[in-house]
A and B are shown apart, each in its own frame.
Chain A
Amino acid sequence: MNSIVAQERIIALRKKRSAQDLRFKYYGFIAMCLALAVLVFLLYSIFSRGFSAFQKTTILLEINYDQEVLKLTPDSTDQEIEKGKFFKVKKNALNNVFENLSKSDAKLIKKLFSTNIDKEIKNYYIDNPSVLNTTQKLWVTAHSNVDQMLKGNSRRDVPEDRRKLNDIQLSFIDQLVEEDRIQKEFNNFFFTRADSRHPEIAGIAGSFMGSLLTLFVVFILSFPIAIGASVYLEEFAPKNKLTELIEVNISNLAAVPSIVFGLLGLGVLLNVFGFPRSTPLVGGTVLALMTLPTIIIACRASLKAVPPSIKEGALAIGATKSQAVFHHVVPLALPGTLTGTIIGLAQALGETAPLIMIGMVAFIPNIPTGITEPSASLPVQIFLWVESAERGFQEKSAAAIMIILLFLFMMNALAVYLRNRFEKKW
């Protein structure tokens, strides 16, 4: 074949080949866009569901704080107030939401309100004792079914038997809307309450506190241990089989599924060492063991990045090895170490499975205050709400996801900031 023939053949094929080239490039581009589109879609599907949870529905109720009904006097002690007959006051108020209610209608009306309103009525009185013997207009929390209906999360155009609210109740709601006696306001419960059986008053304060306490334990355990381990492996360890074993072990541990760490927590920490179940202490310990490899790997990288000349300088003026390391190398590696730790903490914050194993899925209706008290954690709370059949919990779980994503985002931003701000390039 001479070169002219070859040239002709090449030219003949060129168009087809460049079309192939372009096609291949587009495949790659489409794949990338697909991945990003899923990300957007995922965030959209969470945010669109979650935003409504930051509002709650309240209904205007006229409450007559009648001295006789309450069995209270202006000088009643706190204990007496605690025992005041507020439920009777509530009952009267509910019976008078609309005029001339039949008994069965009153029952239906009652179901439009949260079970929490007894407390709201009482708390209002405790805050304003002067309202005794007056009639007050109070915005009280509506039941989750009403809330969901008004937010459009549950539909009213389905047959009555498949709805939580029947036709009569819907007409009541419509009337309330017409008379402007129903409104949406900022959902303070979501941020100040712990979990509850009733979606309208369930909040993330308890699980958030649980997550915070858990992360505290993770940090206290993993940060010093990771620094110790990486300092030993980088600066002290002799090059022998044992060191190699530790290193292989750490890199493999990083790939063990998180649920296996949960089994470790259950089988060893709870059953052998008798750690208190369902507490941030044991949850944090398990998560610390889980994130330790990640942090150690980051720590070692930043220790490695410190030039050996600094250590030599210290050794040459007679510093001991540990002085040279702890006075000079470790402080210089600290930003990198902290970055790694924050990323490890972010990983721990989002982790759910191991916490389920050690019993942090229990229903905990109060806000924990210490690391040895039973508590939930944010991701577990999300899990519980996702699994729950009640419609009202779904928007709660989406909103809790928004909160957790916000925190993850802030932690990662902090890590990036620390890295850029303090990490020295040598």
Chain B
Amino acid sequence: MFFWSIVLILIGIYSSYILGKSRIKKLVYSTNLKPKSQYNYHAQYVLSWCLLPALIVYFSWAIFEEQIIQNLILDSFEYVEGAAYNDGLLLAEIRNVANNTDFSEGKSQEIINAASQYKSLKLTSEISFYISIIIIMVLGSLYAVRKINIQFNAQDTIEKYIKYILIFCSSIAVLTTIGIIFSLIFESFRFFSQVSIFEFLFSTEWYPFIPIREGQAGAEGSFGAVPIFAGTFLVMIVAMCVAAPIGLLTAIYLSEYASQKVRKTVKPLLEILAGIPTIVYGFFAFVTVAPFVKSFGQSIGIDASPTSALAAGLVMGVMIIPFISSLSDDVINSVPQSLREGSLGIGANKAETIKKVILPAALPGIVGAFLLAISRAIGETMIVVVAAGTAANLTANPFENVTTVTVQIVVALIGDQEFDNPRTLSAFALGLVLFVITLSLNVLALRIVKKYRERYE
């Protein structure tokens, strides 16, 4: 389908272009007037009317075709009484049979029927796809050709179309935000229709285990997210205890003490640290730091969990060191030179200048940097998924196992997803909390940093 539609589109591009050009040439020839726009623009005009609607149809077809076919198949599927069905598995099986990629024998008749129905639907869909694309291309071109005349300002129209396309491009970012908010709120709403919002926000019991069958005895999940928030907070605190001093001192050293040469080598090295994928940090936490923390705990007489908050937090701290150091570096560098000179001029030494003049002056900016780092730490996923625990545990002891918001999102979604089950939906409620918190931290931080910048500009 892909190859032939490309061919089709190329033919469309070529023929509509030629059509537009010959049409305006003929008009010029017969009326002997000078056209308002050049031939090329008329041709481009016809081309865009041929192409753009066809592309819209192409993409919506590509997106919705499979979905529609699946629904049709499921609607007409002859369910056998008493057998358990899973829509996803069923569809996969039907598709495999239809594509001759399922070699196991003894397929039931209803599957074979559905597979042949699937095949015929696919074929119908493909044929109608090509027909509709061709019709749309032809209609679009004809419409555009009819609009062409000597007075028609094709150039302006093309210019307008380009602008619309560009506006569409920039609206993608807005659509993404709307999509995020929509999906989070919509699914969270479904979650809160099954679990009370008070339980979620204030209860301290998190057992997201839901009865597999209706009426299964004794298995009632409870969704109190307090231990999760507490765990997230604990890991974040550990991370900040590592990253804040090291990152800030590194930034001070680099911007105030280090020679040009040191700066030029260290900064890219720190950037390497920043560019390492988080799963790599997760690996590091899991195979190197966690065993170390455990044996360290044993040596001081504490029984550390193999998935302790400390191990995850330490590594997360390492991850955000470059983040804090580069942001603080910017902030410190934007403190005006005159303040430094003023302090050094009355005989203060460098340390005193930094501690008494530069840091206070840069404080809002540094606070902003820390807030951004906190937001980053809270939203970080892979380190905690690999190195922190999955069981919710309300504790302030960093040697114990804790879980975080992001871990719970992953845990809820990594297996079977059932969108009528609060366990799956809880991911979206947690995601909503995460989104709101990180967003407000960011807005706050950016506002602080911006105010700070304005002060020195």
Interface residues of A (CB under 8 A from B): 10, 17-18, 20-21, 23-25, 27-32, 34-36, 38-39, 41-42, 45-46, 49, 224-229, 231-233, 236-237, 245-246, 249-253, 255-264, 266-268, 271-276, 289, 292-293, 296, 320-322, 346, 349-353, 356-357, 361, 379, 382-383, 386-387, 394, 397-398, 401, 404-405, 408, 412
Q: How many Å lie between the Cα of A404 and that of B380 in the bound state?
A: 19
Which of A24, A36, A275, A404 has most chain B Cβ within 10 Å?
Answer: A24
Report the nearest B residue to A49, measured CB to CB: B287
Q: How many Å lie between the Cα of A338 and that of B31 in the bound state?
A: 48
Q: How many Å lie between the Cα of A320 and that of B38 in the bound state?
A: 13
Partner of A353, one of B173, B179, B406: B406
- A402–chain B nearest beta-carbon distance, Å: 10
Partner of A386, one of B165, B257, B379, B386: B386
A353 touches B351 (CB 8 A): no
Among the stretches B14-22, B60-68, B205-213, the one at the interface with A is B60-68
**Chain B interfacial residues counted at CB < 8 A:** 96
A255 touches B173 (CB 8 A): no
A356 touches B350 (CB 8 A): no
- A401–chain B nearest beta-carbon distance, Å: 5
B179 touches A264 (CB 8 A): yes
- Nearest first, the 4 A-B pairs at minimum CB distance are A257-B379, A350-B277, A28-B253, A267-B183
B438 touches A386 (CB 8 A): no
Taking CB atoms, residues of chain B closer than 8 Å to A227 are: 169
A228-B169, A253-B176 as given contacts; A383 in contact with B382, CB under 8 Å: yes
Taking CB atoms, residues of chain B closer than 8 Å to A253 are: 173, 176-177
- B132–chain A nearest beta-carbon distance, Å: 19
Interface flag for B279 (CB, 8 Å): yes
Interface flag for B245 (CB, 8 Å): yes
Taking CB atoms, residues of chain A closer than 8 Å to B253 are: 25, 28-29, 31-32
B275 touches A352 (CB 8 A): no
- A231–chain B nearest beta-carbon distance, Å: 6
Taking CB atoms, residues of chain A closer than 8 Å to B167 are: 232
Taking CB atoms, residues of chain A closer than 8 Å to B351 are: 20-21, 23-25
A45 touches B284 (CB 8 A): yes
Interface residues of B (CB under 8 A from A): 63-64, 66-67, 70, 155, 159, 162-163, 165-174, 176-177, 179-180, 182-184, 186-187, 245-250, 252-254, 256-258, 266, 269-270, 272-273, 275-284, 286-288, 318, 321-322, 325, 347, 349-352, 354-355, 372, 375-376, 378-382, 385-386, 406, 409-410, 413-414, 417, 419, 427-428, 431, 434-435, 438-439, 442-443, 446
Q: How many Å lie between the Cα of A225 and that of B417 in the bound state?
A: 32
A25-B351, A263-B428 as given contacts; A383 in contact with B386, CB under 8 Å: yes
A386 touches B286 (CB 8 A): yes
Partner of A21, one of B180, B284, B352: B352
B187 touches A267 (CB 8 A): yes
Taking CB atoms, residues of chain A closer than 8 Å to B446 are: 251
Q: How many Å lie between the Cα of A293 and that of B176 in the bound state?
A: 11
A255-B442, A408-B275 as given contacts; A401 in contact with B280, CB under 8 Å: yes
Which of A20, A229, A293 has most chain B Cβ within 10 Å?
Answer: A229
Taking CB atoms, residues of chain A closer than 8 Å to B322 are: 35
B321 touches A35 (CB 8 A): yes
Q: How many Å lie between the Cα of A349 and that of B279 in the bound state?
A: 11
A322 touches B354 (CB 8 A): no
